[in-house]
Amino acid sequence: MPESEVELVDQFFCPPCIQREHVCLLLFACSCDRSSENPNLNLKTTYKQRCLNGLRHPNPDSSKACHKPARGAISKYCSDECGVEYMQSRIDAWAKKGGQKEELWESVKKAEKREGMTICVDEKIKSDWEDKVKKQSRTDRETERLGELLDQVVKMRKETRDSMEIIAWREQLLQLASERAEQIDQCGWDQRLCFGEKEWQAYGAGVLESYDVKDENEDEDGEWWCSGQKSCKRHNG
């Protein structure tokens, strides 16, 4: 499969699987004499709708064209950037044919920004939605939207802070492991450098403290360190 098509795959069936399934279903259908009622004989790979900016590109198959999937019901484009780029190309093409951009601006400058869209037209949902809209002012809706964005920023900030703390912990652990390896003339790689977030939160402080343990108690944590030669091939570098 071309690399440009990978992101567009919706449901993939490899040719050998299709052939094997086809043969198995044919045998089953023939034994039951119901081949005409079996819809699974038409297995095939299905694809998502491609970004319109890529489809309408002068050379759609080139690497310069967008090969990402559109955002479905939300948009015909994969991103706002692709939508702007496509519309810019439309405007440029229109201008080359003699159209005046000033005229185009006059026809669209009073257009209002889209605030939302309805995907499901269920009478109850529609009624509830209309009641909610009547109760909410435009300012309230904007406040609610910004509040949701703020919640996302707070969550991202927490995740970033946690990631930075793990990096700092790993740097400190790497320094301790390197110093220990020099002292005992061994590889000294510490497997706990691979701890994920959950392990780090549960055992992080204890891991660093294990480097302060006296030699006679070291066997308790000895399983974490590689006792190979200093130039251990597995952990070299």
pLDDT at position 20 is: 79
pLDDT at position 36 is: 46
- Integer Cα distance of 215 and 177 in angstroms: 15
Coil/strand/helix, residue 190: strand
pTM of the full structure: 0.39
CA-to-CA separations, 185 to 92, 217, 232, 235, 237, in angstroms, rounded:
69, 19, 11, 14, 15
What does the H/E/C string look like for 34-46? CHHHCHHHHCCCE
For residue 225, what is the DSSP state? B
> Is 161:127 a contact under the CB 8 Å cutoff?
no
> Is 157:163 a contact under the CB 8 Å cutoff?
no
Task: Encode the chain (237 residues) as per-residue pLDDT tens digits.
Answer: 888 888 899 888 888 887 777 677 666 656 555 444 455 556 788 889 999 999 999 898 888 899 999 988 778 999 999 999 998 888 888 888 887 777 778 877 888 777 666 666 666 666 666 666 666 667 777 888 899 999 999 999 998 998 899 899 999 999 998 888 888 888 888 988 888 888 888 888 888 888 887 554 454 556 888 888 888 888 877
Helices 80-96, 101-108: axis angle to 10 degrees equals 130
pLDDT at position 35 is: 43
Instruction: Report the DSSP beta bridge partners of residue 50.
Output: 69
- Integer Cα distance of 69 and 71 in angstroms: 7
pLDDT at position 2 is: 84
Query: Domains of the chain: which residue ranges?
Result: 3-107, 145-224
> CA 124: distance to chain centroid?
34
> CA 148: distance to chain centroid?
20
Report how far apart the first and last C-alpha atoms of the chain are (Å, whole number). Answer: 37
pLDDT at position 34 is: 46
Tokens of 204: 């992080």
What are the respective helix, strand and coil percentages of the chain, to the nearest 5? 65, 5, 35
Coil/strand/helix, residue 11: strand
For residue 111, what is the DSSP state? P
> Is 225:219 a contact under the CB 8 Å cutoff?
no
